[in-house]
Structure formats: structure tokens, C-alpha cells
Amino acid sequence: MKTKQLYLLVIFLLTPFFFNTFAQSPPGQATLGYFNLEVEEGQQCLTDAQRADINAMLDANIQMLKDEGRLLYNEASKPDLVQFGWPVKTADDVNYNQIWGTSNYVDHQSGSGLLDYFCQQKTYNGHKGTDIYLWPFWWYAMDHFQGENIAAADGQIILKQDGNYDRRCAMGAYVWNAIYVQHADGSVAWYGHMKEGSLTSKGVGDTVVRGEFLGNVGSSGSSTGPHLHFEVYAANAALIDPFAGECNSRNDESWWDEQMSHDVPKLNAVLTHSAPPVFPECPQQETPNLKDYFEVGEVPLLAVYLTDQQPGSVLNLKVIRPDGSNQYDWDLELTDYYQLSYWYWSLTPDMTGNWKWQVTYQGETVTHDYFVGTMGTAESEVKNLQVFPNPANDFINLQSTEKIVKAQIFDTQGRLINNISNASGIERMNIKSLPAGVYILNVIDGKKNTSTVKFVKK
């Protein structure tokens, strides 16, 4: 019961720019890639037999907890309604604006028709939950634990399923990895398709609080790609659609404390690459070709990743030089709807230093830093810069005439590993977690001078 990138048709279209005539626009064309997510007709992520097995296990565990005096749900003192927070988040160490989008809602149309809570068709036949996918780079994100399933509300774990294969690319009678949480009002939330072995160490009977980590987004069970299937039942075992809407025939009230819109046009990520990202056949991991450090003469690819791209909306894009001036500043009018889309441009920098790639969409601005310079230990612009010890074990120390206000560590592929800013000055960096190898350190002082040096982690 899933709705993912079932068929990943990556279509690259060379599309002309639309821009404000007063803005300085880059030459040439943009490259567009997009995916629209579908599920084969008649497929479900859980069979009727699997649902019956799950409900039997839930009933048995609830009775066990009740017999042991450990069941927290109390009919006599239950609240009228438990409201949810969003059940997927970006891992704390991932530098994306957002890592998810919503592909399907509960189907409210009996029979062969499709009808979601908003009286549209963002669902598939018989779907009983909300599907939340990862973007950008769903398999890469799954393999690097970048998308996290978190508790939508306080509750008690009443069932866990783990140990099942998590790289499914098709619908079928496969068993998923999942956690089931009962809330104070007796309702139960199902969190399905989790990554194998990623589930919380807490067990049946343990409590979780809203926002607590439950496991990583995966593609176990009947699934066509990494996503969370979030399904909710009231205390009387009636299926709930947590979204309130004119065509929600199951419940009148929203179960979200802040219900988001049906489509959520979002700027998921603003990134730089050494080459176009590669999207292979499912379930192979994508090759993002992420890079934030470029040698003089290299041409960065500047990319933006969107969910629910809306026709008639506009992206404002800026490429900002190290001296604060705009190399480019233009608008791109979006003419089509795509569930997932990405745009990229090859733009040649005309000076060295710390560049900014800044994108504004739907009133939100996201800025991504990248650096252009020469890797090595050539004379620095930062006066009397010393980086020691080099090689180093756990820490590197920074000293200069002017205080260092920003420090970035890149690997030799140019990918940003660590990024620290402190207006009061940076004198030491913790590198304990770095694997042994060669790295590039870029520092900026209070007068905006920049230096780049190599160092070795032992």
C-alpha cells in the first residue's frame, strides 16, 4: 500500500528561461528533470491477510499489556482528540531545507474511483494512509539515514516488526518493518515501510513522546521506493484520515495540530554538483555528484530541488560573488506541475572565494555556500594563518592576525563535511569524527579575506 516513484521516468528537457527583463540572467538554458509518482492499478501495500495478522498481533499485545497492568490507555480518562505533528523529519546532520513530500492520501471513493479528502485524486484505489516520500535522492537518503520517522503524538508502542528486506521496488505480498503506537485517546498510528534494523531500541510497552525517533524511512514490504506509510485508527478501530476536508467521509475534524495544504510546493534543497545527478534503476542508489569546493577552472552545476512544483509560480535565483555582488539575478517562471522536480545550470565563476547560490520560492529563501579556489597551501590572503597540528588526530587549531569567523572542511571530492560560523572567532575545530585522509580547509576572517589549506587527519 504504497505510492512511490513507481516508474522513475527521468526526463531532461532543455527549457527556455523566463526572467525579469531588469535582472541579469545567465546565458543558455536550464536543464529540468522530474518524476511523477504512481502505483499500479489494483495494488495495495498490505493484503487483507496481512492486515488481519497485524490486527491479531495488536489485539494480543494490548491484552498482554492490560493483563500485566502496563497498558496506558484508559477508557475512563481518554481525551476527546489527540492531535498530530508531522511524522517525518530531516536528520539533524543533513543540510537540506526539507527532505520529504506527500504522494498519496486516503482514498474516500468506494469501488474503482479515486477521491482524496480534498476532492481530488492524489491517492490510489483503496489506499488507507498518507504516503510521505524522500526527496532529493530517495535511495541515497535512505542509505545515509537522512529521513527519520518520528512519533506524531505521545503514546505507547504496542507492536514492532523488523528484520524484513527494505529495498523493494514493486507491490506484492511482502512483509514490512513497522512500529505501531497507541495514544491516550485509544487511537493507533501505523508507521510502515521502515528501513531494516533502524527501528528504535524501545520495545512493546515502552512510551514515546511526540517528535521522538522511531526509525528511518525505508522501502520494506510492498513498496516502490523509500517512504513512510502513516495510517491511523480510532479507538473503535475505525480508519481515520487525519486531514479534514469536504470529501473526508470518515471524520469531521483534522487530527493535525496544523494541517498543511493539499499540495505543498516546497524548496527542498539548493545544492551544487560536479556533474548532473544520476538516477539509476530502482533500487540502486543515486549518484548525486554533490560538490561544494571547486578548483579554479571547474564549472559548478547549480541545482534546485522542488516538491509539488506549481504552474504559474516563480523561482527567483541569485548567484552571489564573494564580494557580495550578483553575478546573476533572474526569475524562472514554472509552467507545469510535477510532484518532484529539479533544475540545474552550468555557471562559470569569475572570481575565487566563498560564493552563494540563493533561491527564493513561495516566499522562502534558501542559500547554499560553495567555494572556488585553488586546493593547496599556497600563500593565503588571511594574514599569518597557521593551521596546526598537521597531520592532526582529534583537533586542528587556527591562528591568524584577524579572527577567523568562518571555517569549512571539504573532502578531496569537494563535498562539504563541516561548516562553522562564529562572529566571536574560531580557534579550534573538532575533527574526531572524520575518517583518516586528506581534507581541504577554507577559512574566512573578519575582513572577508579567504584562505585555503590542505590538512591530513591521522
Give me the domains of the chain, ranges plus CATH numbers. 13-34+267-373 (2.60.40.1930), 48-240 (2.70.70.10), 386-457 (2.60.40.1930)
Do 356 and 369 touch, CB atoms closer than 8 A?
A: yes
Residue at grid coordinates 477521491: 115
Residue at grid coordinates 485508527: 233
Mean pLDDT of 81-97: 94
Do 168 and 228 touch, CB atoms closer than 8 A?
A: no
- Give residues with Cβ within 8 angstroms of 8, minimum separation 6: 35, 225, 279, 281, 282
The confidence score (pLDDT) of residue 20 equals: 32
Our measurement of the distance from residue 323's CA atom to the centroid of its chain's CA atoms, rounded to an integer in Å, reads: 32
- Give residues with Cβ within 8 angstroms of 358, minimum separation 6: 270, 317, 318, 319, 320, 365, 366, 367, 368
CA distances from 117 to 123, 150, 240, 247, 252 (A): 10, 24, 11, 5, 11
Mean pLDDT of 161-181: 96
The confidence score (pLDDT) of residue 9 equals: 30
| Across 42-46, 88-92, 247-251, least confident range | 42-46
- For residue range 326-354, list pLDDT tens digits in order: 999 999 999 999 999 999 999 999 998 88
The confidence score (pLDDT) of residue 23 equals: 46
- Calpha distance 67→27 (Å, rounded): 72
Mean pLDDT of the chain: 90
- Calpha distance 21→330 (Å, rounded): 8
The confidence score (pLDDT) of residue 28 equals: 67
Mean pLDDT of 225-244: 97
Nearest alpha-carbon partner for 178 in 168, 164, 167? 164
- Calpha distance 416→369 (Å, rounded): 9
- Calpha distance 47→329 (Å, rounded): 52
User: Quick one: cell of 59?
Assistant: 489485539
Burial of 306 per CB tally in 10 Å (0-12, 13-18, 19+) = buried
The confidence score (pLDDT) of residue 11 equals: 31
Do 417 and 410 touch, CB atoms closer than 8 A?
A: yes
Strand order in the sheet with 293-295: 293-295, 364-373, 353-361, 314-320, 326-333
Residue at grid coordinates 600563500: 379
Count of alpha carbons within 13 angstroms of residue 279, beta-carbon side: 18
**Residue 231 banded pLDDT, cuts 50, 70, 90:** very high
By residue count, the chain amounts to: 458
Which backbone phi and psi does 388 adopt, to 5 degrees? -150, 160
- For residue range 212-222, list pLDDT tens digits in order: 999 999 999 99
**Residue 429 banded pLDDT, cuts 50, 70, 90:** very high
- Calpha distance 452→436 (Å, rounded): 19
Nearest alpha-carbon partner for 270 in 299, 306, 294, 298? 306
The confidence score (pLDDT) of residue 42 equals: 67
User: Quick one: cell of 62?
Assistant: 494490548
**Residue 113 banded pLDDT, cuts 50, 70, 90:** confident
- Calpha distance 219→217 (Å, rounded): 7
3-state SS, the chain, equals CCCEECCCCCCCEEECCCCCCCCCCCCCCEEEEEECCECCCCCCCCCHHHHHHHHHHHHHHHHHHHHCCCCCCCHHHCCCCCCECCCEEECCCCCCCCCEEEEECCCCCCCCCCCCCCCCCCCCCCCCCEEEEECCCHHHHHHCCCEEEECCCCEEEEEEECCCCCECCECCCCCCCEEEEECCCCCEEEEECECCCCCCCCCCCCEECCCCEEEEEEECCCECCCEEEEEEECCCCCEECCCCCCCCCCCCCCCECCCCCCCCCEEEEEEEECCCCECCCCCCCCECCECCEEECCCCCEEEEEEEEECCCCEEEEEEECCCCCEEEEEEEECCCCEEEEEEEEECCCCCCEEEEEEEEECCEEEEEEEEEECCCCCCCCCCCCEEECCCECCEEEEECCCCEEEEEEEECCCCEEEEEECCCCCCEEECCCCCCEEEEEEEEECCCCEEEEEEEEC
Count of alpha carbons within 13 angstroms of residue 359, beta-carbon side: 26
